[in-house]
Structure 1
Amino acid sequence: MISYQYEAVDRSGKRMKGAIQAPNLSAAEAKLDAQRLTPLYVVEGGSELTVENLSQQQFRFYKRTKASPDEIIDILRSLAVMIKSGVNLIESLDTISQHATSEPAKQVAAQLRQSILDGQSIDLAMRNIPDAFPDVVCEMLAVADEGGNLAKSIYGAIHFMEQQQKTKTSIKSALVYPAVLMSVSIVTLLLFMIVILPTFGKTFEGLNVKLPAITQILLSTGEFLKSNITSLIIGLVMAVIGAKYALRLPKVKAFVNTATYRIPMFGKVLQELALARSVQTFGSLLETNIPVMMAIQFAGRVAGYHPLTQAYSAVESRVENGDTIADSMAKTKAFPAMTVQLVSVGEKSGQLAPLLITAGEQSQESAERKMKAVLSLLEPMFILVMGAIVGALVLSILMPLFSLNQSIK
């Protein structure tokens, strides 16, 4: 028998560590599965998985344990359909946990079911699952749990999450092409300076050819990178770790947030996306009967853009003092005239929630159009930059060749 150290997650989502005896790794996995545990890692030996024993141990990492946003949306959609069809909440979650297509989704449904069986409300059960359900969704379902209109609120939560996913997907898709161009340019430049150019440099030096400035600069840079590659990698890793911890500091986080939203060309697009996100959140919360003041607070919280968050705080204060939401928004000068107009119409007609959602969708579509326009301007610039890099690389070789040819003549 071999001793295996493991870390695993039980059906309720709780992490645990321990040791298990088994003849081989597969048998150890089977034993954990029989105990209804999902392993995160299993490592041979009596010690935990550490950097020191990492290279000496036989171990296996397992699939992700966190459900993706799309999987959370699928869980909510299945839950809404079954509840609307008359199936009770516990049976619905039990069915979802049995038929979910991934282990993380099964764990989320199973943990929700167990928490509700233990007497928790659905919103509290969702909050107990780390990084799975947004706070806005939990608030929507908290009110629904009390009011009894759960299916409608779940559909509202689904719409909210789908809009957020749509925004993220559109941004990622728009940035793929520039990111690929930039990556190819950097890799090409590094390979040329570190691998290719030094070979030509030695040849030219052997022929006593005077190297032009551009060739000398590239050779010196390549030599520096090659000689200090280890230190540079360590420095880069430390810088990334340092930045990660620095971003946890409120002042640093606020500074980076402000700087991000002031990036030329992209800043305005990001500001409009923040507006769309917050206004849609405001409307979605009102649609599920969240109190107005609480909805304003959440809208400001999810904005992610400090001036807009402050604007929502100002709106909240003015509404508390008796102003209408539309007038309060207009006084902040942070909301577009069209949004203010739709809010005004919504307040007068009693259709505030759907008109807020419409205003948010309009802002999102406008931001996506602007994003495409900005990228259409940047693409030729990226191509010119790549052309300049390639031209510099070609010149760094051709110019010494011309000098050699002139000396021979």
Structure 2
Amino acid sequence: MGVYTYEALDNKGQKKKGVLEADSPRQLRQKLRADGLAAVAINEAEEQQQKSSGETTTPRKSLFVRRVSDSEVALVTRQLATLVAAGIPLEECLRALAQQIQKPHLKSLISSVRSRVLEGQTLADSMAAYPRAFDTLYRAMVAAGEKSSHLDTVLERLADYTEHRQKIKGQLMQAMIYPVILTLVAIGVVTALLTTVVPTVIEQFAYMGQKLPAMTQWLIAISDFTRNYGLHIVVSILILLVIRQRMLKKTAIRIRHDRLMLKAPVAGNVFSSIDCSRFARTLSILTSSAVPLLEGMKISANVLTNTHMRDALKQAADLVREGASLWRALEQTQLFSPMMLHMIASGEKSGELTAMLSRAADNQDQQFESQVNIALGVFGPLLIVLMAGVVLFIVMAILTPMLDLNSMVAG
């Protein structure tokens, strides 16, 4: 059974689009006709075309996978967990899930996974064809759930994890919006003053031939520089950003860059807290799903965004393979706080590593929130003070020659 996309017209002549499963285009036309639709165009799903032509499915060639968000994955996972827990066969669960999904790209994704399951593949192997939607952690946990016959429980944990990851990402974005908008407004106000207001006022002083104080001369120089080279500076910054992104594609440069990012004031602690929490929470979920510790450490390291931390944790996994305890290996990385290491060590000694890892992740999340609040509490007032200082400089540079002129007229 294949997956097809279709365009059809209803009785009112309105165009309908969707995704359906059928043995052939002819059967699909019959299904559409039974629903009162007249088929206009029927095409095989892109993944189906690649499979029939012998091409390897890659993330770049699967357009619908790229549009699947974390929130959509979490919703699908939660619904699938509910269906599996009800004792419904997996193929029927995927069919019911695809039928109730409204978004075409998501319906096509689930239908394609179901087609692979019908061919005899496991759910984890079926999802492996879509790594942009189902990452390494997701597939490893699904595989562990299938082996242990606790797929519903694992899917519930995955849904919780995906929702939590989306929450952290939302908090980070929300934390960045305020300072970014405040910075852009400050730059825009100062630029407007330097390029429009200041030149108009200064022309009056130049027309009268008045000798200007040093502060006003500095302001004129800054204004002239901004008007003459402002656009060049913006273009240069954009070019540097593009060059930076290209340079970061090189592994050695990316590792060095990420190592420096961890040393940045305030921001370094925030990035470190996020990745440490992500590592601990991921490892907790994997160990609770019966994934071996070494495999869990490698998978947990791969979900980190900082390449320096990723490499350091992979080296820690090698130490564990050689017989070192988990907390000793993590201590060698010098990435984790003493409190977090103490909690992991306690978990290893008491046999409650999974619970302690989860608790350590919660602790890191609280630390992340407090650091973000502190950073915002410091950045906002500092930027306002800086902005007030710049505006005060501009106002004084304009008022000083005016006051001097009034003194001369009065004298």
Q: TM-score range with shorter-chain normalisation?
A: 0.7 to 0.9
Listed as ranges, the matches of 1:44-55 within 5 Å are none
Report SS of the residue matched to 2:303: helix
Aligned to 2:42: 35
What is the distance in 2 between the residues matched to 1:117 and 1:136? 24
Of the structure 1 ranges 325-334 and 126-135, higher mean CA displacement relative to structure 2 is found in: 325-334
Listed as ranges, the matches of 1:2-401 within 5 Å are 34-35=41-42, 66-228=67-229, 231-305=232-306, 308-330=309-331, 333-401=334-402
Q: Is the 8 A contact 2:101 2:107 kept in 1?
A: yes
Q: Is the 8 A contact 2:94 2:110 kept in 1?
A: yes
Report SS of the residue matched to 1:209: coil
Of the structure 1 ranges 216-225 and 192-201, higher mean CA displacement relative to structure 2 is found in: 216-225
How big is each residue's C-alpha offset from its partner over 1:332-381, in whole Å with a ceiling of 9 and x where there is no partner? 55433433333334334433222211111112212221221232233221
Of the structure 1 ranges 326-335 and 131-140, higher mean CA displacement relative to structure 2 is found in: 326-335
> Structure 2 vs 1, CA of residues 156 and 400 (structure 1 numbering), >3 Å: closer, same or farther?
same
TM-score, normalisation: structure 2 = 0.77
Structure 1 letter corresponding to 2:336: F
Q: Is the 8 A contact 2:175 2:372 kept in 1?
A: yes
What is the distance in 2 between the residues matched to 1:307 and 1:235? 29
Q: Unmatched 5+ residue regions in structure 2?
A: 6-13, 19-37, 47-62
What is the identity percentage for the equivalent residue pairs of Structure 1 and Structure 2?
A: 22
What is the distance in 1 between the residues matched to 2:40 and 2:194? 52
What is the distance in 1 between the residues matched to 2:210 and 2:131? 64
What is the distance in 1 between the residues matched to 2:261 and 2:358? 26
Report SS of the residue matched to 1:210: coil
> Structure 2 vs 1, CA of residues 213 and 376 (structure 1 numbering), >3 Å: closer, same or farther?
same
Q: Is the 8 A contact 1:210 1:403 kept in 2?
A: no
> Structure 2 vs 1, CA of residues 408 and 119 (structure 1 numbering), >3 Å: closer, same or farther?
farther
What is the distance in 1 between the residues matched to 2:279 and 2:179? 28
Q: Is the 8 A contact 1:65 1:103 kept in 2?
A: no
CA drift of 1:231 comes to: 4.4
TM-score, normalisation: structure 1 = 0.78
Q: Is the 8 A contact 2:80 2:94 kept in 1?
A: yes
Of the structure 1 ranges 69-78 and 345-354, higher mean CA displacement relative to structure 2 is found in: 345-354
CA drift of 1:276 comes to: 1.1
What is the distance in 2 between the residues matched to 1:307 and 1:224? 40
CA drift of 1:129 comes to: 2.3
Report SS of the residue matched to 2:395: helix
What is the distance in 2 between the residues matched to 1:208 and 1:98? 80
What is the distance in 2 between the residues matched to 1:63 and 1:33? 22
What is the distance in 1 between the residues matched to 2:146 and 2:284? 19
Q: Unmatched 5+ residue regions in structure 1?
A: 1-9, 14-25, 40-61
Structure 1 letter corresponding to 2:169: K
Report SS of the residue matched to 1:35: strand
CA drift of 1:282 comes to: 1.0
How big is each residue's C-alpha offset from its partner over 1:59-115, in whole Å with a ceiling of 9 and x where there is no partner? xxx999602111111111111111111233333333333333534433332332233
What is the distance in 1 between the residues matched to 2:386 and 2:276? 33
Report SS of the residue matched to 2:336: coil
> Structure 2 vs 1, CA of residues 355 and 237 (structure 1 numbering), >3 Å: closer, same or farther?
same
Q: Is the 8 A contact 1:65 1:104 kept in 2?
A: no
CA drift of 1:191 comes to: 1.3
How big is each residue's C-alpha offset from its partner over 1:207-242, in whole Å with a ceiling of 9 and x where there is no partner? 223344444444444444444565445434433322
> Structure 2 vs 1, CA of residues 230 and 336 (structure 1 numbering), >3 Å: closer, same or farther?
closer
Structure 1 letter corresponding to 2:173: K
Structure 2 letter corresponding to 1:117: L
Aligned to 1:53: none
What is the distance in 2 between the residues matched to 1:65 and 1:11? 18
CA drift of 1:248 comes to: 0.5
Cα RMSD after superposing both structures: 3.4
Q: Is the 8 A contact 1:93 1:110 kept in 2?
A: yes
> Structure 2 vs 1, CA of residues 235 and 350 (structure 1 numbering), >3 Å: closer, same or farther?
same
> Structure 2 vs 1, CA of residues 390 and 151 (structure 1 numbering), >3 Å: closer, same or farther?
same
CA drift of 1:135 comes to: 1.7
What is the distance in 1 between the residues matched to 2:223 and 2:108? 50
